Structure 1
Amino acid sequence: MLGVLEGFVTIIVIIVLGVGLAHFKIVDLSGQVLLSRIAFFVASPALMITVLGGTDVSTLFSANLAASIGSVVVTTVLALILLRVVWRRSGAETMIGIFSAAYVNAGNLGLPIAAYALGNASLIAPMLLVQLLVLQPIGIAVLDLTTRPEEADQSRRRRLLRLVGQPFRNPLMIASLIGLILSLTGFQLPRVVNDPLHLVGGMAVPAMLLAYGISLRLGPLPGRGEPPVQIGALVALKLIVQPLVGFLLAKFVLGLDPLGVLAVTVIAGLPTAQNVFTHAVRFDRGIVLARDTIFLSTLGSIPLIAILAAVLG
């Protein structure tokens, strides 16, 4: 447990440093965007290639993956019932709400937590694969079809092809697939390639944490426009229901070891991913719903994950 808590202290210190950099105007929003883009497009893919390439592939397609899928499915179904049946939201708004309740911040926050707090960055891979290969493509397809139903059949075919190929244009997905291929084949990258990847990958975690801290200080506060009960329910699904389902599946159904239970529960308890807001803006649906859920789940996730680490670590 001590090692897990020390890992979280390291993470919090770097996040606080990011908050301080923003507060004292050393770094502004443009700097936060630059850090995030470098982390997303360059450093994180390099980290995933080196980490997954040196990981036994059996640990990726294991009970952890089943527990991650289960936590996403249960949370998605509950969110769907609330949004569509109880609150009568539109199809597109329902999808944004489902994203808000079940799509965890696996890239920006999950990777650092897995690397430093859990001791193995590859532990984030099962949830990352579930989201990039299943949840996101389905969600984007729903948003695309429900917000642009008037387009012609030929255009729809082009959109379908674009949606099918979308996960494979994501840098983290591409890097994860390369890492999986390296793991499956046992191929060792030459040093002239592997060493630069390790160096660049080392930028990923500090860059993401600094950007995260900057965004906490400079990001927008929740505003009015959405019923507080609905926002509260989505945040509760994200921070209570999803990690609880992950814990129950990991411990009592799949019988994972203590580290596996901790990893599944903590990763399921991550806040809503920031790219949910990007999708909301792109399709002009549920923008305030996504923004407020991201903000509140992000604030709530920090003490939650610390508590989970202390209890389960």
Structure 2
Amino acid sequence: MNLALTVLNITAPVFLLAAVGFAWVKLGFEYRVEFVTRMAMTLSVPCLIFVALMRIEAEPEALAALSLAALSAYGIVMIACFALVKVMRLDVQTFLAPLIFGNTGNLGLPLALFAFGEVGLGYAVVVFAVMAMLSFTIGIWIVAGRGSLKRVIQEPLVAATLLGGVFLWQGWQTPEFLTNTIDLIGQMAIPLMLITLGVAVARLETKAMALAGFLSLIKVVICVGAAWLAATFFGLEPVAAAVLIVQVATPVAVTSYLLAEKYGADAQPVAGLVVASTLLSVIALPLILAFVI
């Protein structure tokens, strides 16, 4: 009973905030996703990342091991999902990237913070940064047929990750007034991302939900297994291992739908994956948290 209550306390705020965004749109109120997303990804999320890394109480060796584990986990997921798509004779351009890359930002960061505190958030930021770099290069190459190393370099979250890593490595701290300011900006990120997730899901038109539901279930199994194998191989300490498993197992991100629209893939099945995997995560993520806590 105590475990169930703990998991409920962790996951309820995440899904309730997403529900706020969903209800907001269904009630007919205006919500400019492009503006909010740009503000979050260029301002509040980089501030959140920088402060989280600067404050994290972890050895650089542990963060390096987590980075390698994250790369390995996504490598395993990539191979397994490619095999799944080929066996089921699905279109690689449409289905592969959404099955690989999860919603480590909108869902993964809040879950890590609520479940494991500031240390968990710091670890989650590392996994989020690894996923983002892979998504902007390999992910775009899968969908569009070309990579985007330039876009990776230009991303504020990459700069924030590198700068936060330097501060962590050197043991530096920004002046208190500046830290408080950056921290306050970063605190906008989590509610903004969660509400925007609900808004985006409410606006999606979905088809072929049976296939999307099946693929979403297989994705969870593959991702949990891959993350557990990577965490075990690299000997991650319990919190880092738990964060890696939760982050890799997050549902399909709305950005996968946007990329499919932009680069000419079939966007409707991707929209179905976003909705089906997000709905499944209401059950799957609490179960995963119950297992790793």
Q: TM-score range by the shorter chain?
A: 0.7 to 0.9
Equivalent residue for 1:78, pick from 61, 77, 80: 80
Instruction: Give the structure 1 partner of residue 63 of structure 2.
Output: 60
- Residue identity opposite 2:102 in structure 1: V
Q: Is the CA contact 1:7–1:118 (under 8 Å) kept in the aligned structure 2?
A: no
Structure 2 distance, partners of 1:233, 1:51, is 36
Q: Establish whether residue 250 from structure 1 lines up as the match of residue 248 from structure 2.
A: no
Alpha-carbon offset, residue 102 of structure 1:
1.0
- Residue identity opposite 2:105 in structure 1: G
Q: How many residues align?
A: 286
Equivalent residue for 1:235, pick from 203, 216, 219: 216
SS in 2 for 1:61: helix
Instruction: Give the structure 1 partner of residue 164 of structure 2.
Output: 179
Q: Establish whether residue 10 from structure 1 lines up as the match of residue 13 from structure 2.
A: yes
Structure 2 distance, partners of 1:234, 1:104, is 13
Structure 1 distance, partners of 2:268, 2:38, is 24
SS in 2 for 1:187: coil
Q: Is the CA contact 1:68–1:130 (under 8 Å) kept in the aligned structure 2?
A: yes
Equivalent residue for 1:202, pick from 187, 194, 200: 187
Q: Is the CA contact 2:7–2:286 (under 8 Å) kept in the aligned structure 1?
A: no
Alpha-carbon offset, residue 108 of structure 1:
1.7
Identity of aligned residues (%): 21
- Residue identity opposite 1:202 in structure 2: Q
Structure 1 distance, partners of 2:166, 2:93, is 32
Structure 2 distance, partners of 1:143, 1:287, is 11
Alpha-carbon offset, residue 197 of structure 1:
0.5
Q: Is the CA contact 2:18–2:195 (under 8 Å) kept in the aligned structure 1?
A: yes
Instruction: Give the structure 2 partner of residue 155 of structure 1.
Output: none
SS in 2 for 1:60: helix
Alpha-carbon offset, residue 186 of structure 1:
2.3
- Residue identity opposite 2:207 in structure 1: G
1:18-73 deviation per Cα after TM superposition (whole angstroms, max 9, x unaligned): 33433444x4342x4443332222111111111112224333212x3343223322
Q: Is the CA contact 1:243–1:268 (under 8 Å) kept in the aligned structure 2?
A: yes
SS in 1 for 2:64: coil
SS in 2 for 1:188: coil
Instruction: Give the structure 2 partner of residue 111 of structure 1.
Output: 109
Residues 280 and 21 (structure 1), Cα distance of their counterparts in 2 relative to 1, 3 Å cut: closer
Q: Is the CA contact 1:103–1:273 (under 8 Å) kept in the aligned structure 2?
A: yes
SS in 2 for 1:118: helix
Alpha-carbon offset, residue 7 of structure 1:
2.2
The answer to which of 42-51 and 182-191 deviates more is 182-191
Alpha-carbon offset, residue 300 of structure 1:
0.8
Instruction: Give the structure 2 partner of residue 277 of structure 1.
Output: 257
Q: Is the CA contact 1:79–1:234 (under 8 Å) kept in the aligned structure 2?
A: no
- Residue identity opposite 2:163 in structure 1: I
Alpha-carbon offset, residue 258 of structure 1:
3.4
Instruction: Give the structure 2 partner of residue 262 of structure 1.
Output: 242
| Aligned ranges 1:301-312 → 2 under 5 Å | 301-312=281-292
Residues 135 and 215 (structure 1), Cα distance of their counterparts in 2 relative to 1, 3 Å cut: closer
Residues 305 and 179 (structure 1), Cα distance of their counterparts in 2 relative to 1, 3 Å cut: same
| Aligned ranges 1:144-183 → 2 under 5 Å | 144-145=144-145, 163-183=148-168
- Residue identity opposite 2:37 in structure 1: S
Alpha-carbon offset, residue 112 of structure 1:
1.2
- Residue identity opposite 2:51 in structure 1: T
The answer to which of 97-106 and 111-120 deviates more is 111-120
Residues 195 and 268 (structure 1), Cα distance of their counterparts in 2 relative to 1, 3 Å cut: same
Alpha-carbon offset, residue 134 of structure 1:
3.1
Structure 1 distance, partners of 2:97, 2:225, is 18
